Amino acid sequence: MPSNVEIKAKVSDPARFAEKAAELSQSEGTIIRQHDTFFNCSQGRLKLRDFMNESGQLIFYERPDTDGPKLSRYSISPTSDPPSLRAVLSDALGVKGEVRKERRLFLIGQTRVHLDTVEGLGNYMELEVVHLDFFCFVCFFLKVAEDLMEKLSVSKESLVTGAYMDLLLQGHKET
């Protein structure tokens, strides 16, 4: 199963964060609209990501609910009919909840930097250090993530645990 190292944090100044990410990536970033539907499952998380353009991905992932850098293992299957797949999975498993967001994606080296505006929650950032496989050293990727946190002025106090779905279920509100 592929893996990556992830970090998620609250962003208090999205314009400043975007400015720093654009400078580091030498790009204005790519805007991606996403509607994620989370389904009940016995382990990990299962979500259907609808890109709102007749394409999507079914994603299963496992990662610890801790703040700071964490190893995430995932499997992804593309779909060209997210609404139909959502209906089948909803009937079979039940819906845990939904997350709607606009994501601005920046690529910095092997890291995907996301500036997310999450409906009902506000502004967050995610770092995903990708291309992590069995032969790579996790410590190296943790260091890459921590260095980017520093360059993007992400404080340890702003780190969050869990997924956006968890924050919504826990009653977190947009600030």
pTM of the model: 0.88
Average pLDDT rounded to a whole number, residues 35-53: 97
Percent of the chain with pLDDT over 70: 93
The per-residue pLDDT of the chain, averaged, comes to 91
Q: 101-118 pLDDT, tens per residue?
A: 999 999 998 899 999 999
Which of the two residues, 122 and 1, has the higher pLDDT score? 122
Detail the DSSP E strand segments found in 14-173.
Answer: 30-39, 45-50, 56-62, 70-79, 95-108, 111-118, 122-132
- Domain boundaries, given as residue ranges, for the chain: 3-169
pLDDT of 166 over the 70 cut = yes
pLDDT of 21 over the 70 cut = yes
Quote the pLDDT of residue 143. 76
CATH node for 3-169: 2.40.320.10
Q: 58-79 pLDDT, tens per residue?
A: 999 999 888 878 888 999 999 9
